Amino acid sequence: MKRLENKIALVTGAGRGIGRAIAVALSDEGAQVAVNYNTSAESATVLAAEIESKGGTAVLFQADVSNYDDASILVDQVYARFGRIDILVNNAGISRDNLMVNMTDKECWEVMHANFGSVFNLTRLVAPSMMRERQGRIINITSPTAERAPVEGQSNYAASKAATEAFTRCSALELARFGVTVNAVAPGFVPTDLVGGLLQRYRARIIKRIPVREFERPEDVGAAVAYLATEQARYITGEVLHVDGGVNMSMGL
């Protein structure tokens, strides 16, 4: 029997990048996956077809999860289709890099709303039902920038991820007695669209700062998230699992 057989997972921002790999990893473990996308309808459709071709279940749900009303409709639609949500993965995220002194309000708050607002929205919306069911897994995708690996131009992004890690610990504390765990997975440097600009400019410099001297694969993140979603991880809560080839340990990029 697969480790997540009969589980229902909702993954935000799963149409491409790391979210896509998380959806595949959860499906490979037997979960039925609600695939949220915002603008990437085409690649989300390809993902769903890939999962279905392997005998899995993937259903697409469009929503801008930074917006509470949209997130609320999304959760209602997932409940209507699947009846419950056992695993929530808050993966959706953006960056709007700029030096702090030049950063605009828009650049700051767009990132806070997309990266932290979405976590706040969905956790509040999904937790009550998990509490009633006395089981659930919430996994938030953060970053080494949240703790001790600052990157110039990413004060907004780092603040959004630090907020998410603090929120992870507080909600873990509040939900622990209900059988619901809340953890974060912090990838290091995964060559996706999000970091395409940094990669173009600093590829050689970045690789030298990664102790394992290799870029991370989206599948590395997917495997860690899938583990935290299983019964084997039932006693882990309020943690940040750094899946980063040693980046956080060695003080960053």
Q: Is 123 in the site for ligand NAP (CB under 6 A)?
A: no
Cβ-Cβ contacts under 8 Å for 193 (sequence gap 6 or more): 16, 17
Sign of the C-alpha dihedral computed for residues 121, 218, 248 and 231 taken in this order: positive
Q: Is 42 in the site for ligand NAP (CB under 6 A)?
A: no
Q: Among 37, 68, 79, 157, which one carries the catalytic annotation?
A: 157
Among the candidate windows 64-72, 129-137, 166-174, 227-235, which touches ligand NAP by CB under 6 A?
A: 64-72
**Residue-by-residue DSSP string for 205-242:** HHHHHSTTSSPPPHHHHHHHHHHHHSGGGTT--S-EEE
Please pick, from the candidates 32, 40, 154, 171, the single residue that binds ligand NAP as defined by CB under 6 A: 40
Residues 69-108 interacting with ligand NAP (rule: CB under 6 A): 91-94
Q: Is 187 in the site for ligand NAP (CB under 6 A)?
A: yes
Q: Is 163 in the site for ligand NAP (CB under 6 A)?
A: no
Torsion of CA 61, 67, 70, 76, to 10 degrees: 90
**Is 157 a residue of the active site?**
yes
Minimum Å distance from CB 171 to ligand NAP?
17
* Active site (catalytic) residues: 157
Task: Summarize as ranges the residues that interact with ligand NAP (CB under 6 A).
Answer: 12-13, 15-19, 36-40, 64-66, 91-94, 114, 141, 143, 187, 189-190, 192-195
